[in-house]
Chains A and B, each alone.
Chain A
């Protein structure tokens, strides 16, 4: 029972982080059609920026976190201006390769700035332990679940009930028609990049205290988030939440009990299975366009 509760909390926390990462990725995909392979490195950057605010500038963890998320939002908007705006009319493959190139550059810059030794991000709940059903659970996991829950609710409200969300959905379903109706694509794209980078940073900051920050830190999360997005049906909001929870369960509960040595690859196996059996995802619908 103890193990089960501990693993269930790990699964929920991991799923929540993946949901944040995948949502950040999807906001961008919906608004601009860009598949951003640099998302993982934005996650890493978020962790390092928070570390910089906390250790080098001496701010408290919470202030450092908030500053880092804000900074990353600005960096995201900056990336839109510098890297994406000149590419807007280019084919998708060009943009995809450009994001790969951006990922290479970001990763190299981080390694120049912070070196490649793994580092630890401090947390406001360091060492705190909450006992649930007689099982000690790391405070960080509870923090992740609470913060992610609030943020995901915020993003869902933003998507479903705001003008921004309506324009975003219009862009996602038919870009040209949306433009004809006067949706300001430039402004939406800027906001989407900022929001996407902020969500990436938030995901990175929340999960970093549980492990350690290194150059590959965000890449692994991004891949698992891809798996979550594919599982749920790419672009489907509820599907992504379902997919992220499933990946958490698969990796921690199944991986924790049965296939311990191979827990790290279970999300990829799940992704392959879905791509083979139901490429539109669990909740997705097929739509073919020429």
Chain B
């Protein structure tokens, strides 16, 4: 419900010029990928792209679907293990990734079916339970999860017969995937479905009586958002050639949530900005590692209390503060 109100405060500005923004983002990313030469910067750039993909999936579930799901890291891990499993059995890169997306989508469908009557907080709890189960199960030794949840030697991504071995090469693959997903988000938000989604978020019962397919819409946002999470997990696994259960713990779960809230629920660009923040800030403040959690916590509080529409909405909020005679837009 808050999500709806926050999303509603998205200014018209960000609805216009979407394609131009996307082009600028791609160009900027491409320029920075060409100018950075050190290994760690290229690595961080790719990490930003992968986290953006996962955060965008979470954005679909949380901001568009209005459901608070803790299961996105579970989906990433599931996607990663699935792709590693098929890779070991001799399936090619695209087949592996496709399998990962299908498996996570099916898993999300099953979870959402089990939890279909669980509302709000209960849905959050149910998905949190799924994540905790995942952490334990993935940490065991099995043919699917390797030794104690660690699998090494996963094949490099192969696109159009070309093996992408370096960070710089993988960059283009990740950029293409992210750009496609952002385009998809733009189109969904411009379609009539966006209005149905707002209705479902804001007044579930009322929209049910008006014939909006509430359950189907919720299911769709959750399944697609989770599948995108699985895709991100699969990509990160092939890129790094390694998967470990520790990289998909609760910290990343809170991190993803932080990315979406911090960037701003009002717009899908918020997920990208939040991911950039999440990747860059620990690097810039590398001497202050142990204070990072405090910083995140305080930031989260400040954002949610003062700038509920996130970094991207900060300008809006400030501008609106100047127009105090407009009570309807006060942050709620």
A contacts, CB < 8 Å to B: 35, 86-87, 90-94, 96-98, 100-105, 107-109, 111-112, 219, 223, 226-227, 230, 234, 261-262, 264-265, 268-269, 271-272, 275-276, 279, 290
Contact = CB atoms under 8 A, between A and B. Distances in A.
B290 interface: yes
A244 to B, nearest CB: 16
Contact of A279 (B2, B122, B291, B308): B122
Contacts of A219: 250
Given A94-B2, A108-B294, A230-B125, A269 B300 contact: no
Interface of B: 1-3, 5, 68, 114-122, 125-126, 128-130, 132-133, 136-137, 140, 205, 250, 254, 257, 261, 290-294, 296-298, 300-301, 304-305, 308, 332
A248 B257 CA distance: 31
A275 B122 contact: yes
Contacts, number: 113
Contact of B125 (A97, A264, A275): A275
A5 to B, nearest CB: 27
Contacts of A104: 254, 293-294, 296-297, 300
A34 to B, nearest CB: 11
B95 to A, nearest CB: 31
Given A93-B2, A265-B133, A271 B125 contact: yes
Contacts of A94: 2, 304-305, 308
A82 B132 CA distance: 31
Contact of A276 (B115, B261, B308): B115
B252 to A, nearest CB: 13
Looking at B133, B292, B298, which has the most chain A CB atoms within 10 Å of its CB?
A: B133
Contacts of B129: 223, 227, 268-269, 271-272
B294 A275 contact: no
B96 to A, nearest CB: 27
Contacts of B290: 108, 111-112
A279 B117 contact: yes
